[in-house]
Structure 1
């Protein structure tokens, strides 16, 4: 372990929850600084986020403030001893404070709790007699109360490695402070949209205030700053002014799911800010303290982070007596040793993407079926892609995909046209084919006659799509636009209508009236570097998972990018990422299969072996070597002048193909 150096961004972190209620006695009773820090060092952890203030509103350091935890021994400065012990082992110790959840403040000042439009207090529960957190109103004097706490922590522990401020969402309120504030801003407190606008304005102001405070107390060489947790990452294009780095909270079994990180990481990555991601050692979510997830799941989640250019984070909960659990750190250490072994091959690397998926940031971090469908399909097709907002610079991408839920307004249409004129390829899906819902989004679309089609089922007859029979029309779920192919366009799918629309008094069979004959209407056409998909292909893929949809999308992309950066066989769930380093190119191969085993949880128990999987990386010169890392195994390869080809067998779930070249 290196000496403590805040200039290095942490790679293997632990977020050490310590939400300890006031009725818990003996807080920190068994804490031993040397044992505490050694536990993390042996688990290969290089940063531990430790608590100054928890959701209960209690403080865990030496202070005369009344919020100090009543169960903490008077002579124990727990946070100070934790920080000192971690620093002695070369481990960073960013400090945590809870913001909008503070039970002590809510009890002492109930008027500071946020109010709904009926002037009821806002809590994380449906009854005053159920356990649940109160939500504080940041337009109330509580904002100054928190500033005083933060100021004391910063004065006490400066220079700090970083500050983690939790529970920072936009919370509308109808309190007297919020009402007065809205009136001062010329907003209408009776308007729900205005209450949201004001709450967001309040959030922007407290982030600016607290960020300025933290900046003055950071170590001069700190690679981290303050992080406001709970804000949507899709808002970072505006809020990055308040932060130096990004942290992504996303426990797959804790409500986020396994589709969350592949989407959000690809949105954050192009921003260029150092980013770490949090999963948890819990079987389910935060607070599931007495349950551990399988090692394979933790390995999958951290390998996924690594492949997306993020550093790793695992959430844990420290027992009130202050002793980390050996079982937890045996688990974390077993995964972090693998991550640590991979890191030298990725130093200074950047993830390569050749496709940009343009999404609406207003959808937040829960992007909806269309965008999730895009991410899942593109992962399965081995596409290397980023997720970007409409205003992003598209110059570094070879192709752009615009899903159904991204509105193509005048500004985006002009940017897409400029991108086309510079040689970029464009794929538009469903409503994205129409500018502001009216005229065609681009002048050189391969289709014409675009208009909303009547509701009702239809079918797709694919042509020239590998793996899809041409004589078997498949159901087309969701809405579509009518479209006719322009001369010279290549049609990949035509629309086939049923014999008649299905209704209560006229139907055939269990699900839909059978397909009749196809006409001139097309569903997918490509021409001149532009692809038009007139059906809701991405939304339908997410909702129904029909293989034909993915194969059709893949055939469409093949027309736009006939020489993709990477080709790989193997099982459909295989996830890939390509990283360029100073000495060559690294291809991540991640192979795990989450399976639905409870009504709400997708679980991972084992890695899925890869056996003789073909991999081809676009490379104009022959490589010096091709190895499978971190195992260090030399692989046979051949170079055809355009691609380097090899085959991979591994049973570990995550491996890296390291191709050294000029």
Structure 2
């Protein structure tokens, strides 16, 4: 059976970059279909995204169009031979086309290049004399030019396994094409906001157009359609009409960082679409052709994808002559061999979450300090959580967290109130305690007298917080609200004032005036199923990493959710996620520790061993068996009527506790 007829979403993929400039003379010269296919098959790869068109604007298939790469032998239909070679060994072949970055079109039609309000062309550089890409204007005839290229690919390779269209961000422009288009829409071209709105409208229209072209050619059992890369994932609720699946581009060393995937994965999972995630084999980012990352890093990144219920993708750059690098596919194969061994234990599995973190979709894929602080703190607390927009259905979650960067308007306040009335627990942080910034978000908060506090340093004195000493007030970084606890509410932290405000003409010590004594103001209070945090706790945890902030959040959640799905000891960096199949509960344990080794890079060189780490999984009945997978090790277990308790030792960096039950 050819790969294109197999209706299964790919699990271990390679995104095979092939951006090849016109001055390269011997494109595909050494391509051999058997060698090419063997490299991917032996590396446990089941799908390879191949290039029809690159950023240079050149085509790599048999075509009469002048954009065909000049260094490609006239008798070599490179893309067709790549597709045939991979299909012959059961590997899928989605096809890549670059959209807004197209050097050939920019050179032949400079009038199609995007220009800003000063009529300066848009390029990825400060001057004309740097190697950089031009950006094409999608309101110009370039949109039709690209449609013709896409149409030829769809006719030539039907039925395709999928189409990957790259560089699809909203691109404002002041070109004559864009100005005419804005006027037709009743928009003001001189208004920056209107130019941005028009750019979004243009993007939605070309996505609708190109998606319809692709959909008409797909077989009935297709699992992939078209993916428009570089779109913010927070807009998927509006744009899912154009797609069948989601792809997450996020190279940790390429500017995204190791906190990006855990955030975005939790945001896209509730959409219910298949999700493929991309990292890269590169030491740094895309285009770092001559750098390989350590195996431990790739093992961490692909295991993290698996643990979040995503399928894996690794980016590579194929040498212009068309021969995959042995070193690259030994690296990828080593990581994917582990993933392939884990997959049988996750067949039909669904990730389980019991906490929803409500975020502002307007932040896009750049979640901001408070949301990244929430992700890091909750991961370290072993919480099982999703990231959701304010419009999400909250009824399936046992607790809801609203960070300080999420505006609470009338609609969200009403939804939170209904959720609370139905028995759900709430944790509101900082400004989220106020509806529209002026009045309490809920009528039954455990505090009163909420109002913005004057700027200036204060301190937090903890009460009954495990691990946090009660006789050592810690600094409160960031803004806060004033509030007093209602009778009967449990206070976990009080506000302590300094002797006097620090200023240029009155100060003490290096950083802040010492704490004087407690006030009647509170910082963290729990009561009636609601936790009120009046300080910017999550933002401060992201910016400063003070352990006490995480301990305070953990203490509040313990009051709201005293019986979490999983508890685990071990090092603070240990990541846990839980998935369920029809007959098992699977707990992923991921233990790798990135370290900042260059001014810009967090690097991973080794797995961090887990030694006799206690893990408890909530399960009402005793299990049939508990094993550590994929090694198949039987684990001794105890069941106390509520939790299954095991202890885990592993040096592998990623392992799964698989609890078989009825």
Give the corresponding residue for 1:296: 296
Give the corresponding residue for 1:408: 408
Count of residues paired in the alignment: 662
Q: Say yes or no: does 1:443 pair with 2:463.
A: no
Q: Secondary structure at the match of 2:495?
A: strand
Alignment of 1:135-150 (within 5 A): 135-150=135-150
Q: Deviations over 1:98-147 (max 9, x none)?
A: 00000000000001000101001000011111000000000000000000
Give the corresponding residue for 2:45: 45
Q: Say yes or no: does 1:353 pair with 2:358.
A: no
- CA distance in structure 2 between the partners assigned to 1:288 and 1:87 by the alignment: 28
- CA distance in structure 1 between the partners assigned to 2:234 and 2:652 by the alignment: 33
1:217 deviates by 1.3
- CA distance in structure 1 between the partners assigned to 2:319 and 2:510 by the alignment: 56
Does the Cα contact within 8 Å between 2:4 and 2:159 map onto a contact in 1?
A: no
Does the Cα contact within 8 Å between 2:94 and 2:163 map onto a contact in 1?
A: yes
Give the corresponding residue for 1:579: 579
Give the corresponding residue for 1:79: 79
Give the corresponding residue for 2:604: 604
- CA distance in structure 1 between the partners assigned to 2:518 and 2:6 by the alignment: 65
Give the corresponding residue for 1:646: 646
Q: Secondary structure at the match of 2:74?
A: coil
Does the Cα contact within 8 Å between 1:618 and 1:643 map onto a contact in 2?
A: yes
1:219 deviates by 2.8
1:222 deviates by 1.2
Does the Cα contact within 8 Å between 1:158 and 1:219 map onto a contact in 2?
A: no
Q: Deviations over 1:576-618 (max 9, x none)?
A: 0000011110000000000000000000000000000000000
Alignment of 1:8-407 (within 5 A): 8-407=8-407
- CA distance in structure 1 between the partners assigned to 2:259 and 2:2 by the alignment: 35
Give the corresponding residue for 1:490: 490
- CA distance in structure 2 between the partners assigned to 1:246 and 1:92 by the alignment: 17
- CA distance in structure 2 between the partners assigned to 1:523 and 1:600 by the alignment: 35
Q: Deviations over 1:390-418 (max 9, x none)?
A: 00010110000000000000000000000
- CA distance in structure 2 between the partners assigned to 1:583 and 1:620 by the alignment: 14
1:640 deviates by 0.3
Does the Cα contact within 8 Å between 2:46 and 2:90 map onto a contact in 1?
A: yes
1:320 deviates by 0.2
Give the corresponding residue for 1:502: 502
- CA distance in structure 2 between the partners assigned to 1:51 and 1:496 by the alignment: 61
- CA distance in structure 1 between the partners assigned to 2:403 and 2:220 by the alignment: 43
Does the Cα contact within 8 Å between 2:4 and 2:160 map onto a contact in 1?
A: no
- CA distance in structure 1 between the partners assigned to 2:493 and 2:127 by the alignment: 54
Give the corresponding residue for 1:433: 433
Does the Cα contact within 8 Å between 1:27 and 1:71 map onto a contact in 2?
A: yes
Does the Cα contact within 8 Å between 1:300 and 1:590 map onto a contact in 2?
A: yes
Q: Secondary structure at the match of 1:217?
A: coil
Q: Secondary structure at the match of 1:342?
A: helix
- CA distance in structure 2 between the partners assigned to 1:3 and 1:311 by the alignment: 17
Does the Cα contact within 8 Å between 2:4 and 2:161 map onto a contact in 1?
A: no
Does the Cα contact within 8 Å between 2:233 and 2:268 map onto a contact in 1?
A: yes
- CA distance in structure 2 between the partners assigned to 1:514 and 1:228 by the alignment: 54
TM-score by length of 1: 0.99
Does the Cα contact within 8 Å between 1:611 and 1:649 map onto a contact in 2?
A: yes
Give the corresponding residue for 1:512: 512
Q: Say yes or no: does 1:621 pair with 2:621.
A: yes
- CA distance in structure 2 between the partners assigned to 1:544 and 1:219 by the alignment: 52
Q: Secondary structure at the match of 2:216?
A: helix
Say if 1:6 and 1:189 are closer, same or farther in 2 by CA, change over 3 A: farther
TM-score by length of 2: 0.99
1:2 deviates by 9.3
Structure 1 residues not aligned, in runs of 5+: none
Q: Secondary structure at the match of 1:531?
A: strand
Structure 2 residues not aligned, in runs of 5+: none
- CA distance in structure 2 between the partners assigned to 1:333 and 1:566 by the alignment: 32
Does the Cα contact within 8 Å between 2:494 and 2:518 map onto a contact in 1?
A: yes
- CA distance in structure 1 between the partners assigned to 2:3 and 2:643 by the alignment: 42
- CA distance in structure 2 between the partners assigned to 1:182 and 1:501 by the alignment: 52
Q: Secondary structure at the match of 1:7?
A: coil
Does the Cα contact within 8 Å between 2:3 and 2:92 map onto a contact in 1?
A: no
Give the corresponding residue for 1:525: 525
1:657 deviates by 0.2
1:4 deviates by 5.6
1:220 deviates by 2.5
- CA distance in structure 1 between the partners assigned to 2:197 and 2:442 by the alignment: 34
Does the Cα contact within 8 Å between 2:112 and 2:140 map onto a contact in 1?
A: yes
- CA distance in structure 1 between the partners assigned to 2:62 and 2:287 by the alignment: 26
- CA distance in structure 2 between the partners assigned to 1:365 and 1:586 by the alignment: 29
Give the corresponding residue for 1:595: 595
Q: Deviations over 1:220-272 (max 9, x none)?
A: 31111100000001110110110000000000000000010000000000000
- CA distance in structure 1 between the partners assigned to 2:610 and 2:184 by the alignment: 62
Does the Cα contact within 8 Å between 1:161 and 1:219 map onto a contact in 2?
A: no
1:6 deviates by 3.4
1:620 deviates by 0.3
Q: Deviations over 1:465-506 (max 9, x none)?
A: 000011110000000000000111100000000000000000
Does the Cα contact within 8 Å between 1:4 and 1:89 map onto a contact in 2?
A: no
- CA distance in structure 1 between the partners assigned to 2:446 and 2:185 by the alignment: 49
Task: Give runs of ≥4 in structure 1 deviating > 3 Å.
Answer: 1-6
- CA distance in structure 2 between the partners assigned to 1:519 and 1:578 by the alignment: 42
- CA distance in structure 1 between the partners assigned to 2:531 and 2:183 by the alignment: 49
- CA distance in structure 1 between the partners assigned to 2:241 and 2:303 by the alignment: 29
- CA distance in structure 1 between the partners assigned to 2:284 and 2:584 by the alignment: 39
- CA distance in structure 2 between the partners assigned to 1:235 and 1:593 by the alignment: 32
Give the corresponding residue for 1:557: 557
Q: Say yes or no: does 1:418 pair with 2:418.
A: yes
1:5 deviates by 4.1
Does the Cα contact within 8 Å between 2:318 and 2:324 map onto a contact in 1?
A: yes
Q: Deviations over 1:166-209 (max 9, x none)?
A: 00000000000101111111111001011000000000000000
- CA distance in structure 2 between the partners assigned to 1:638 and 1:2 by the alignment: 48
- CA distance in structure 2 between the partners assigned to 1:231 and 1:497 by the alignment: 46
CA-based RMSD: 0.8
